[in-house]
Structure 1
Amino acid sequence: MRSLFLAGAAVLLLGAAPAHRPPVDPSLAGPTPAKPTGYLAAGDIDGQAVIGPPPLPDSPQGKSDRTVYLETRGLAGSARWTQAAKDNDLWTGGALERYACALGAPIDATALPKTYRLLQRIEIDARTVGTPPKDHFNRTRPPIGDDRPICIKRESWMSTNASYPSGHAMTGWAWGLVLGELAPAKASALLEAGREIGDSRVICGVHYPSDVEAGRLLGAAMVAREHADAEFRADFAAAKAELAKARGPAAMNCS
């Protein structure tokens, strides 16, 4: 089955984009402390081979994708629609709060700095791994050429930043997997949060279901590959030790 990383943060993290590179969805741009880097290099995973091409528009799955897009426009104004809009901003919107509530402790640079930085580096990897298949398959997003409501403001990047795979779904599922490993007693709730981040992209109207499915598949492959990296394993161990000592606040706004 995928508002916006802050544009300034995206520039700091990724550097100036080449003239041929399409704009990046700014809602994917995370915080920018000390120029964090990911664990993986371009080419460590062949994303195109892992997920394969998106369904053709006239195929059964392609038609199903479009039907779901049309049906979910009817959710405009609902509570789930509002949540999808919050989930659009992974870092400063509502998405990260989902994981914090599932974990029972705030996830930020003050409360859990090692865990927070681990998530930052994973998100950077999601862009490193996810951008090549996005550019290669170049699938048009569902709202392009359609004036039905979507849960975020329409902006020019939607026409040039491809739909397949969903970067939000990829990051959201990867975070759920890694946090579930770090806190296995809470894995179910953390993975539920990861699933719903992807579902929000379909409800929002900015991705098709197959975009989200491909994002989750590639996110899982990415996490598996990260475990082979020594820096990732060291950061993972540090985050696990940090979480073992963490205590959640007396109350969190998780209603």
Structure 2
Amino acid sequence: MKHAKLAAGICGAIVMAAGAAGMAIGQAQVATPAATTSQTDATRAAMAAIMRNGSYLPRGGAPNSLLFNPAPPAPGSAAKARDEEAAAAAIAMQGTPRWEQAKIDADLFTPKVTDTFSCAAGFRIGAETTPKVQALLMKSMMDFGLASYPTKNRYQRPRPFMENGKATCTPDQEAMLRKDGSYPSGHSAIGFGMGLILADLVPDRAGELVARGRAFGESRRICNVHWLSDIEEGRIVAAAVFARLNAEPAFVADVAAARAELAEKRASLPVPDCARENAALAM
């Protein structure tokens, strides 16, 4: 039995199990049309592999997000108006290269998620090129994502597309997303958390990697599945979890192994073609 609920809001396609609330993760189930069965099976297999890797923090060991996430913006407040303005700006970007990048960033629960940081790192990250870095990122993903659930479960905030009726970049995931609280964004926590870990491993690219982690979360606003404040508070979750992870011996040991791997291999790692991604993120 694993941790708490890890749901569609984190990856946009997943498990409805309860975790922060105390229910265990079972086998991932994704509601998709029959035409996408093979893709669904591949996603399930990838998610199952990630879950088998477990996480670094013991159950209940993550910082309690309710202690540092305030309540989400209230209806009629200036903060809610800010969220709505940011959502409207995101809707205007549908169909643009930035929208297409948001679709790519939404693919969270496959090994390809680490490759989204390759351009920021300046070298190709993945199971074949940097296996120790890959293992570190995929295992810590669980800790960053799960830590958002005390707040998610408390407030169960509706997502932007549920209020504005506009399209999302992952329409096949909308049924799941409707059942999962929007605030804070687990996807943002994961992306920003990965950026923090990589910035520690590759300090000469720290600015680029933290910026990519930020953009990874922003993709959820562009997708019309998270409010701006969801994403911002997801970063706070990531910062708290990153601090806690650095006191966990297994995490510290794996960081050291990843750092040694990069010291040995970095100069020979392939450099990705980043023209498309750079242009999209520049929007």
With the shorter chain as reference, the TM-score category is 0.7 to 0.9
SS of 2:68's partner is helix
C-alpha spacing 1:35/1:215, structure 2 compared with 1 (3 Å): same
Amino acid at match of 1:139: R
CA deviations over 1:30-67 (Å, ceiling 9, x no partner): 57168111111343211111212111122110121112
Structure 1 residue runs of 5 or longer lacking an equivalent are 18-22
Q: Cα RMSD (Å) of the superposition?
A: 2.9
Alpha-carbon distance between aligned partners in 2 of 1:253 and 1:94, rounded to the nearest angstrom: 16
- Indicate whether 1:123 and 2:141 are aligned: yes
Q: Is the 8 A contact 1:133 1:164 kept in 2?
A: yes
The 5 Å alignment of 1:124-139 reads 124-139=142-157
Alpha-carbon distance between aligned partners in 2 of 1:71 and 1:94, rounded to the nearest angstrom: 28
C-alpha spacing 1:58/1:5, structure 2 compared with 1 (3 Å): closer
C-alpha spacing 1:121/1:33, structure 2 compared with 1 (3 Å): closer
Residue 193 of structure 1: aligned partner:
212
- Indicate whether 1:179 and 2:198 are aligned: yes
How far 1:148 moved relative to its partner?
1.4
Q: Is the 8 A contact 1:40 1:128 kept in 2?
A: no
C-alpha spacing 1:61/1:244, structure 2 compared with 1 (3 Å): same
Alpha-carbon distance between aligned partners in 2 of 1:165 and 1:30, rounded to the nearest angstrom: 21
CA deviations over 1:101-143 (Å, ceiling 9, x no partner): 2222222222111111110111110233112221112111111
Greater relative CO, 1 or 2 (CA 8 Å, sep 6+): 1
- Indicate whether 1:65 and 2:65 are aligned: no
SS of 1:245's partner is helix
Q: Which of 54, 57, 70 pairs up with 1:40?
A: 57
TM-score (norm 1): 0.86
Amino acid at match of 2:257: A
Q: Is the 8 A contact 1:86 1:94 kept in 2?
A: no
TM-score (norm 2): 0.78
Count of aligned positions: 246
Structure 2 residue runs of 5 or longer lacking an equivalent are 1-8, 18-23, 32-39, 276-283
Alpha-carbon distance between aligned partners in 1 of 2:118 and 2:79, rounded to the nearest angstrom: 35
C-alpha spacing 1:3/1:164, structure 2 compared with 1 (3 Å): closer
